């Protein structure tokens, strides 16, 4: 999975016009942002910013991932409706992650992708992300064992 994803992410940027910016091949946050902003702009005449790659027509990575995962889940019989957590809480988490991700210029995937492309800023962002995960994990464990 990791190898295929890495190849696809690089190929998207190099061969399929998913740029500028550089190292933009796969990013759940920015591509979702492009899709949402582009749609809102088209329907409401606003001018929310989108990446240059999505000016004419938005990138559809998020839609593809949803459909692909739906296909995988249906074929393996893993699809079922359930809700492990409070929906309001995850709604807030989603909004927070999106804001932080756009602040950093990429979700966890693109931070790693930027690091791989040799961007020092991406490496710092990825280091920050790793630190956040470590701290978050310790917080979860502390809360679970309290």
Residues within window 71-100 making contact with other proteins, judged by CB under 8 A:
71-73, 76, 78-100
Q: How far is the CB of 34 from other proteins (least distance, A)?
A: 9
Structure tokens at 29: 């946050």
- State how far the Cα of 48 lies from the Cα of 138, in Å rounded to an integer: 37
User: Considering the complex, what minimum distance in angstroms separates the CB of residue 65 from other proteins?
Assistant: 4
Helix, strand, or coil here: 49?
A: coil
CB of 41 to other proteins, least distance (A): 11
Q: What is the distance between the alpha carbons of residues 144 and 146, in angstroms, rounded to a whole number?
A: 6
Considering the complex, what minimum distance in angstroms separates the CB of residue 42 from other proteins? 13
Among residues 4, 142, 145, 146, which is the contact residue for other proteins, using CB under 8 A? 4
In angstroms, the CA 79 to CA 111 distance is 30
Which residues in the 7-66 window bind other proteins by CB under 8 A? 7-18, 22-23, 25-26, 28-29, 31-33, 35-37, 40, 48-49, 53-54, 56-66
How far apart CA 15 and CA 28 sit, in angstroms, is 19
Among 90, 100, 91, CA closest to 132: 100
Among 42, 43, 45, 136, binds other proteins (CB under 8 A): 136
């Amino acid at each position: 999975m990791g190898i295929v994803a890495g190849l696809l992410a690089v190929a998207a940027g190099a061969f399929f016009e998913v740029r500028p910016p550089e190292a933009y091949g796969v990013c759940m946050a920015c591509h979702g942002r492009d899709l949402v902003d582009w749609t809102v702009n088209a329907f409401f005449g606003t001018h929310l910013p989108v990446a240059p790659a999505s000016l004419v027509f938005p990138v559809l990575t998020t839609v593809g991932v949803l459909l692909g995962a739906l296909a995988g889940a249906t074929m393996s019989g893993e699809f079922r409706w359930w809700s492990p957590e409070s929906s309001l809480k995850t709604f807030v988490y989603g909004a927070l992650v999106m804001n932080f991700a756009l602040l950093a210029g990429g979700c966890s995937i693109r931070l790693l992708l930027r690091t791989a492309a040799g961007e020092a800023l991406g490496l710092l962002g990825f280091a920050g992300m790793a630190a956040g995960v470590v701290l978050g994990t310790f917080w979860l464990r502390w809360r679970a064992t309290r």
